Amino acid sequence: MKQIKSIFLLGILVLLAFGLTACLEDDVSGDSPDVDESETVETETPEVTDDEEIVKIGYTGPLSGPGAQYGLHVLNGMEMAVEEINEEGFEIDGTTHKVELVALDDQYLPNEAGVNITRMVSEDDPVAILIPHSGGVFAAQEFNEQDDFIIMAYTSEPRMYEQGNELLMGISPQYSVWPDTFSDYMMENFGGKMALLPTNSQYGMDWAEAIEPVWEEKGGEIVYESDIDYSQDTDYFTVMTNALDNDPDVLFVGGPSEPTALVIQQAKELGYEGGFMIMDQAKLEEMAGFLDGYDMLNGSIGVLPIEEENTEASNLFVETYQEQFDEEFATSESSLTYQSVHALVEGMKVAGTVDDRKAIMDALNEGIENIPEEKSVLPLHEIDDEGSMQWKFEAGAVEDGEVISIPLDE
């Protein structure tokens, strides 16, 4: 019956999904594959004895195409947490449980995410499914409460909380936490004229709509508005020339890290000496890798790199992540999804169940308090009544080739 209901609802969500776009990250174009063509990504299946049980957590996100690197960071954080949890497992009612991660590639397509979710619900009955783009989150919200799985939403899109979904675990800080601090820093250091060049996804449009009134209320002026299609555009000369013709003090940019770095490089090559306000998708540390260091990012403000947290837990996480996945950087995506998987399992332990999803949600705050100190990469205070996890974050600004932390405005 659950499978029939899911297939019926899938027809609805496919229609809805074409009107949705990925928000925290850029959309990619192209035809979506049939359900049988969805790629299952190989993850480690835990070894269990006859007395142990497996609980499954799903992932559907981009693991191919332009968003692949981002999706890999998200999945790596999950895998790292799962491996740690499975070293000893966790006990509920005298039974040891271990976690199996089921991962499917959706190429950043909301409708393909819906197909993947329906497949996982039918075949795997996951406790939760992590979805790292708002298009997939909005689609899944059409039926997750009925099909009884928790959405672990990695997107900063605030609109996902408007439905009052009781099985929603919002991981990312909402992008509304950044505009005041970003604007104050830019105005103080560069001036009040800003050109808007966000990614052309719904996320980018929403971010621009959020920053514009804050900027203007502080006395700033928007001197140019356009957008960039990172899935199609590779030459940013024309859009950047048009923006710079309006003599902005600040450029508002953002999308995937690599093309955003190229946009910044293009601006510098055209003689631009102002500031860069960088949306939370693009990561300073990743862009520095593409630009051979932070020097070209001087004058930028964005999300503080996780390596700049410089706590015992964050340093341990960064070192372990780099070694385990042979990566130059550990990003905020990997650290937040890592800690969120630990929080979910601690919630199961407090609730005393892996089956009652609502009870697990209700137990999350106590579970968060039980996360071991060495696993608390970032300070996590609670999950609020809307389902939004409340982290302590700071912004990061690049000055003289070095990243400095900027506390967020209260």
pLDDT in tens, 6-61: 444 444 444 444 344 333 343 333 333 333 445 667 777 888 888 999 999 999 99
Distance CA 210, CA 123 (A): 40
- What are the chain's domains? 2-174+318-391 (3.40.50.2300), 176-308+394-407 (3.40.50.2300)
Q: How many whole angstroms separate alpha carbon 117 and alpha carbon 204? A: 25
Which tens digits make up the pLDDT trace of 211-261? 999 999 999 999 999 999 876 777 899 999 999 999 999 999 998 888 899
- Say what the pLDDT of residue 3 is: 46
Please give the structure tokens belonging to residue 33.
């594959």
CA angle at 225 for the pair 224 and 230, rounded to the nearest 5°: 130
| pLDDT for residue 21 | 38
- Given a cut of 70, the residues of the chain with pLDDT beneath it are 1-40, 66, 231, 410
104 close to 59: Cβ distance less than 8 angstroms:
yes
Cα–Cα distances in Å, from 27 out to 13, 152, 354?
A: 17, 20, 34
Between strands 90-92 and 150-153, the pairing is: unpaired
Q: Rounded to an integer, what is the distance from CA 234 to the centroid of its chain?
A: 24
| Segment holding 103, helix H or strand E | strand 95-105
Give the predicted TM-score (pTM) of the model.
Answer: 0.85
CB 170 within 8 A of CB 387: yes
pLDDT the model gives residue 36: 41
Q: Which amino acid is at 169?
A: M
pLDDT given for residue 202 in this prediction: 77
